[in-house]
Structure 1
Amino acid sequence: MLTWPGVFALLGAALPPAEAQQRRCAYLARPNNARPMEEAGNVSGAVQRCGHTPCCMGYFRLSHGPPIPDLLGCNVVPRECPESSCSSSHQVDNFTHCVCSADLCNANLTWLAPPPPGPASWGVSSICTVLIPMALLLLLCMVMCHRSIRKSGAKPSYGRVTSQCSCHGSQSPDLDLTCIELHQMVGQGYFASVWSGSVAGAAVAVKVFPARSLPQCLTERSVYSLALLEHAGVLRFLGAGSVPHGPDRFLVLELATQGSLRSFLCQNSSSWACTLRLAQGVAQGLAFLHSDFHRKGMHKPSVAHGDISSSNAVVRADGSSALCDYSCSTILCSCSPLHQHSNVSQVSPQMGTLCYRSPEVLDGCVNLRSSHYLLQGDVYALGLLFWELCSRCADLCTGPAVPEHQLPYEAELGGSPSLGELVDWVSERRERPHIPPSWGVHFQGTYTIKEVLEDCWDHDPEARLTAQSAARRLATLSP
């Protein structure tokens, strides 16, 4: 009987030499994940030839026997992968993952069980071998630091606690969900469904991830677990957990009673003041996500949302808005050059909803090792979101009736444009949704809403606004 490594070795040997220049990764995906996974590269049987990355990734289920492959393929997000073999010692909910940099390296996992804690079994020579070099290194660091302080003229701050750089949140314990009640499904996405419900009598939103979407659940929970992730433009996270003996995972969130922004726009037109408030909410939320700062001894790294759309923003009862759904997000670590652009998940298959994808992502001409395209891709989608909002604004409408809600490019390409149609229209022709002339003259501030849109969805990522600049410009517009 052939093992997994044996099967992939035989398949790899059969590949033609012309394709050896591309990274070849073992491929395994369930039907629910196959479609988005295939965007990372061409699939031939049990092998995927990566189109944009030198890294392979794998998710494995840990049981009593050998690790069982659950999701294998090319890694499609910025990630260092210096290890040539697939190995891991980190476990979450009986799953582990790896990223590696050799052909078919993800076909087999080397599970490195964590060593037992405590130095009781160490010998004297082992302790000396470890502690003496550490003491010398610490002494050297103190000398270098003291010289640097003297050279700069700064006063030493002995005993002061400085904030720690953290790219991974500290997850809170799971909630006891034995008393959870699901009332009504209010949304259905690719990876999860959203229900209105209650926990201990409190009204909440419950996001239910089936077992097949565990990687996306872990990604979203990791973002919500970051320190200092509290902002009016970000949906509030209340906790996570699972029902005993059930395969599904739950995220418990603040309930936005008016639903997703897309459903709100389908059912309601709005005044300019309401439209501007909704736009400012999502813009300020994205600016906060993109920010990297230290506060109260804690650090919040920058987060690229990865899937900005009207389906991934919600409207509260008071008319304010907030961003949600971080299953395709990426945490961008700024601690050191060795850890820059690390991400919380090893795979982000969707790369955003199709009609909101930026020209460079549609073309596939992006530097996947740079965080810049992730952030500016969010801003491009934000411009399309502003257009959606304005197209349902009664005060901006010059006709007898406010037009029905449409998604970006729906008027030009229909409700379900293909990737090829979007590449031709958005990237080759550089077309954008139609902006009525009235949007350039009404409710002017330092800028008009027309200028904000055009500067968000510029074809060149370098020329686009940052999320922070977009939020500042919206703040200058008159309500």
Structure 2
Amino acid sequence: MDNVQLLLAIVFHAVLCGTCGAIWCNCTTAQCKKSGLQCETDGACMVSISFIDGQEQRIRTCITRDNLVPLGQPFYCRSAEGLLNIHCCYTDYCNSIDLKVPSATSRSALGEGLGAEGTWGPVELVAVIAGPVFLLCLLLMVAMFLFQYHQRAYSHRQRLEVEDPSCDHLYLTKDKTLQDLIYDLSTSGSGSGLPLFVQRTVARTIVLQEIIGKGRFGEVWRGRWRGGDVAVKIFSSREERSWFREAEIYQTIMLRHENILGFIAADNKDNGTWTQLWLVSDYHEHGSMFDYLNRYPVTIEGMIKLALSAASGLAHLHMEILGTQGKPGIAHRDLKSKNILVKKNCTCAIADLGLAVRHESASDTIDIAPNQRVGTKRYMAPEVLDESINMRHFDSFKCADIYALGLVYWEIARRCNSGGQTVSSPSYPCFSGPEHAADRAQTVPAGIHEDYQLPYYDLVPSDPSIEDMRKVVCDQKLRPNVPNWWQSYEALRVMGKIMRECWYANGAARLTALRIKKTLSQLSVQEDIKV
């Protein structure tokens, strides 16, 4: 039992004093005289008394930690029966006690190691009692922390998996479908989206199916909600400001329009380990215009439908609607073919409003401090590239959007199939021409069309810098090539004219989105196209 108690004292000392620093001891050796008969050590204090040649010798000194071996009964702390009585301790000046002179019938070496009388002193008692209590308390604290952490994580997961029952009697009855929800959004009057608690309920009952895209912000997934497909844009936690800004823009009063991506819900989902930032919107299986034009050529009809719907969406975005439930004018600032989606009926929906700015007409201010050079370099207007844009004038941002729209039109027109014989093409999605009765295969014109290319593909590198674009657009004043053969087709001739009027170096001379919309509407009537 004595061996166990001594071992506990040593272990307790190692736990409590392993990181507590040095202790001070009484010292009677010659080298301690200069330090005031005291010494400092990281090990133990020692006092000993011996009886040699009929004389008593008392020593008080320090023992360094590396000499306290082996564990439990250090050599330096062992008594010699009848000759030497030693006591080691581990607190400041604890070696001030007096020991009895050893005799042949004295206590065993181990007993002397514990104390002068072979009984437990106050230090040893504290070590034996407090050590296990301290360790037990420490273990209990760790266990309680882990338990509470896992309880929080579990409750978060449970909350995400259970639909909010308070919504059932309001917007979300059990039999309500995605189409019903979109109808609610379209007819709610405000046009600013569903209540936030309904948005959370929708987001937390979506089942993700597959990833359909990636970007600087995070990932885009196709999800399922009550039998319908939705698109889920998942932002990384580093992009919280972008997520909040885009959700805020999409919920602008009266923004909802058939040619602007339909917003459904926004939610921050905490799964107990990290936070996901979700933006839920309509799902369009054709993807972006960039993806669509890479896969398919377009007919004259398809070109006009894409161009007119894009102009309609941008005109609504730019338009200010006055009134108590009015809509502010909004500039996109990152318009490009990758940020325009192609719907099932082959019209467009403008998306990705995270960089947009709103104009407050009452105070003639823009709602955030804009960055001059924002957006995609290839689509930046001349005044953005050379930093001459008037940042205090909202129309400057609308003019920059028009320049980018002209580049998108060039991408569409290049892929236009302008005539020739027809060929069977069952996979072609957007041509409403004659269908074969047997296999219902659609036919498309096999006329002139060019491979898909990005604007300025022949003038700048694949990932151009701002300086690359500035030299071409501002210094050399070059624009994408408009082929002469487009003049042979009325629709392509009109498209070419619109592009040139979107690309003027002077932003104020460019067309407005509304003017472009009216021109293309007239063209669709001439071509007998139903849009």
Give 1:175's aligned residue: 200
Give 1:407's aligned residue: 454
Are 1:431 and 2:478 counterparts?
A: yes
Are 1:314 and 2:341 counterparts?
A: yes
Are 1:277 and 2:305 counterparts?
A: yes
How far off its partner does 1:396 sit?
Answer: 7.5
Describe the SS at the equivalent of 1:251: strand
Conserved 8 A contact 1:305-1:330: yes
Higher helix share: 2
Pick one of 227, 230, 233 that aligns with 1:201.
227
How far off its partner does 1:262 sit?
Answer: 0.3
* One-letter amino acid of the counterpart of residue 200, structure 2: L
How far apart in 2 are the matches of 1:460 and 1:399?
39
Describe the SS at the equivalent of 1:300: coil
1:330-384 deviations in whole A, cap 9, x for unaligned? 01111x23xx2322x4565861111000000001111211112111000000000
How far off its partner does 1:179 sit?
Answer: 2.5
Describe the SS at the equivalent of 1:410: coil
Conserved 8 A contact 1:328-1:350: no
Conserved 8 A contact 1:303-1:329: yes
Give 2:354's aligned residue: 327
Conserved 8 A contact 1:328-1:349: no
Describe the SS at the equivalent of 2:310: helix
Conserved 8 A contact 1:328-1:348: no
Are 1:443 and 2:490 counterparts?
A: yes
Pick one of 522, 525, 529 that aligns with 1:476.
522
Are 1:191 and 2:195 counterparts?
A: no
Conserved 8 A contact 2:268-2:277: yes
How far off its partner does 1:171 sit?
Answer: 6.8
Give 1:79's aligned residue: none
Conserved 8 A contact 2:390-2:396: yes
Give 1:376's aligned residue: 399
Conserved 8 A contact 1:279-1:386: yes
* One-letter amino acid of the counterpart of residue 356, structure 2: S
Conserved 8 A contact 2:402-2:510: yes
Describe the SS at the equivalent of 1:233: coil
Q: Which runs of 5+ in 2 are unaligned?
A: 1-189, 421-444
Pick one of 239, 242, 258 that aligns with 2:286.
258
* One-letter amino acid of the counterpart of residue 321, structure 1: C
Question: Could you tell which deviates more after superposition, 374-383 or 348-357?
Answer: 348-357
How far apart in 1 are the matches of 2:503 and 2:511?
9
Identity %: 29
1:187-246 deviations in whole A, cap 9, x for unaligned? 222223211111233210111111111111111111111111121110111111132334
How far off its partner does 1:303 sit?
Answer: 0.3
How far apart in 2 are the matches of 1:301 and 1:380?
21
Give the length in aligned residue pairs: 307
Describe the SS at the equivalent of 2:481: coil
Give 2:245's aligned residue: 219
Structure 1 residues 438, 172: CA separation in 2 closer, same or farther (over 3 Å shift)? farther
* One-letter amino acid of the counterpart of residue 331, structure 1: R
How far apart in 2 are the matches of 1:253 and 1:203?
10
Describe the SS at the equivalent of 2:349: strand
How far off its partner does 1:257 sit?
Answer: 1.1
Paired residues for 1:42-53 under 5 Å: none
Pick one of 234, 241, 257 that aligns with 2:260.
234
* One-letter amino acid of the counterpart of residue 172, structure 1: L
Structure 1 residues 311, 227: CA separation in 2 closer, same or farther (over 3 Å shift)? same
Describe the SS at the equivalent of 1:259: coil
Are 1:391 and 2:384 counterparts?
A: no
How far off its partner does 1:401 sit?
Answer: 5.5
How far apart in 2 are the matches of 1:322 and 1:439?
27
* One-letter amino acid of the counterpart of residue 336, structure 2: S
1:229-277 deviations in whole A, cap 9, x for unaligned? 1211101111111323341211110011100110001111010100110
Conserved 8 A contact 1:363-1:427: yes
How far apart in 2 are the matches of 1:403 and 1:328?
32
How far apart in 1 are the matches of 2:305 and 2:452?
18
1:33-92 deviations in whole A, cap 9, x for unaligned? xxxxxxxxxxxxxxxxxxxxxxxxxxxxxxxxxxxxxxxxxxxxxxxxxxxxxxxxxxxx
How far apart in 2 are the matches of 1:183 and 1:347?
36
1:383-404 deviations in whole A, cap 9, x for unaligned? 0000000011111799976322
Conserved 8 A contact 2:419-2:447: no
* One-letter amino acid of the counterpart of residue 175, structure 1: R
* One-letter amino acid of the counterpart of residue 409, structure 1: Y
Conserved 8 A contact 2:309-2:348: yes
Are 1:249 and 2:277 counterparts?
A: yes
Pick one of 329, 353, 366 that aligns with 1:342.
366
Conserved 8 A contact 1:309-1:385: yes
Conserved 8 A contact 2:193-2:264: no
How far apart in 2 are the matches of 1:439 and 1:380?
20
Pick one of 468, 483, 487 that aligns with 1:421.
468
Conserved 8 A contact 2:249-2:353: yes
How far apart in 1 are the matches of 2:293 and 2:283?
18
How far off its partner does 1:170 sit?
Answer: 9.4
Conserved 8 A contact 2:232-2:279: yes
Give 1:287's aligned residue: 315
* One-letter amino acid of the counterpart of residue 337, structure 2: S
How far off its partner does 1:430 sit?
Answer: 0.8
Conserved 8 A contact 1:195-1:207: yes
TM-score (norm 2): 0.55
How far apart in 2 are the matches of 1:352 and 1:424?
18
Q: Which runs of 5+ in 1 are unaligned?
A: 1-165
How far apart in 2 are the matches of 1:169 and 1:371?
25
Question: Could you tell which deviates more after superposition, 178-187 or 316-325?
Answer: 178-187
Question: Could you tell which deviates more after superposition, 447-456 or 284-293?
Answer: 447-456
Pick one of 356, 361, 368 that aligns with 2:379.
356
Describe the SS at the equivalent of 2:283: coil
Conserved 8 A contact 1:407-1:415: no
TM-score (norm 1): 0.60
How far apart in 2 are the matches of 1:365 and 1:348?
13
